[in-house]
Chains A and B, each alone.
Chain A
Amino acid sequence: MSDHGDGHGHEHDHAHDHASSATMSQRVAGLVATLERKGVVTGQQLDRAVEEFLAHAKPANGAAVVARAWVDPAFKARLLADANAAIEELGFDMRHWSYVKLRAVENTEHLHNVIVCTLCSCYPLSLLGPSPAWYKSVAYRSRVVRDPRGVLEEFGVTLDPGTEIEVWDSTAELRYLVVPRRPAGTEGMGEAELAKLVTRDSMIGTGLCAAPPR
């Protein structure tokens, strides 16, 4: 099931009867009004929190981390050993909510990593930005642990049959970041250029990075 707006009605969307958006809007406004009255939060603080999140949490952050790992083997070693410390070198952190441990997992010729949160939707938000709806869907959460190869094919990722797939189930305390493989033919490229090749899905493991077309 997914996180649709109104009126999408895909036939396989198990959307049942979502409360209408107008109703939800009223209920949320009611709760916010109560909390304002009790001095717990203000509407202004809420607006600021949304702006802050959207301004700072984006896949370009994760891409910068990956690109650095591609060009700097010593950084990559630090990233794989202690990801929290390594991303702090680039000015990022995982402390948006409370301390969350980050583990970076590297794709190689023989191993491909994929992340999921089967229990809810844990995701390295600060590095990847807001998570896509499919990541939070029960369809992805239930199936990627059972049939990762099939799920990856749906995403257009066909791996060599000999490539092992490791699926990492995130938790509230431990999140993962996939370090995708650097595409062949990018040897002469600089870090900033390389970062542009790193897609959000490649850092989830449901995509691969490709060299720019010549």
Chain B
Amino acid sequence: MTRVHDVGGMHGFGPIDRDEVDEPFHHEWEARVFALNRLLLRAKVYNLDEFRHAIERMDPVAYLSASYYEKWFAGIERLLAEKGVTS
């Protein structure tokens, strides 16, 4: 089954926008999400495949409308809930 993250070869996403400020993080919260993921991976709360899979399981509409670190946050939230860490 093809899911929405599997965009290789898909048409219609428009031109590549390279005009952005090349900063690693645009907001403080993005840096925190990045760091959180790194620490949770290191602590083996989940692994990289589980993280990727959590993002890939996002609702397609949510996937396409979320910014990069919003997707990460959604993945982290989901995994922590599924693993009973936050629930």
A positions within 8 Å CB-CB of B: 1-5, 8, 10, 12-19, 21, 24-25, 27-29, 31-32, 34-35, 38, 40-41, 45-47, 49-50, 53-54, 96-98, 116, 118-121, 129-130, 132-134, 136-143, 145-146, 151, 154-155, 169, 172
Interface contact B8-A138, CB-CB below 8 Å = no
Q: Return the CB mask of B35-79 against A: 1 if under 8 Å, else 0.
A: 110111111010111001001100000001111111001001100
Given A25-B28, A31-B86, A98-B47, A142 contacting B36 (CB threshold 8 A):
no
Interface contact A120-B5, CB-CB below 8 Å = yes
Size range of the interface on B? 35 or more
Given A35-B86, A40-B43, A24 contacting B64 (CB threshold 8 A):
no
Interface contact A21-B27, CB-CB below 8 Å = yes
A188 to B49, CA, bound (A): 46
Contacts of A96 in B (CB 8 A): 38
B16 on the A face (CB < 8 A)? yes
A8 to B21, CA, bound (A): 10
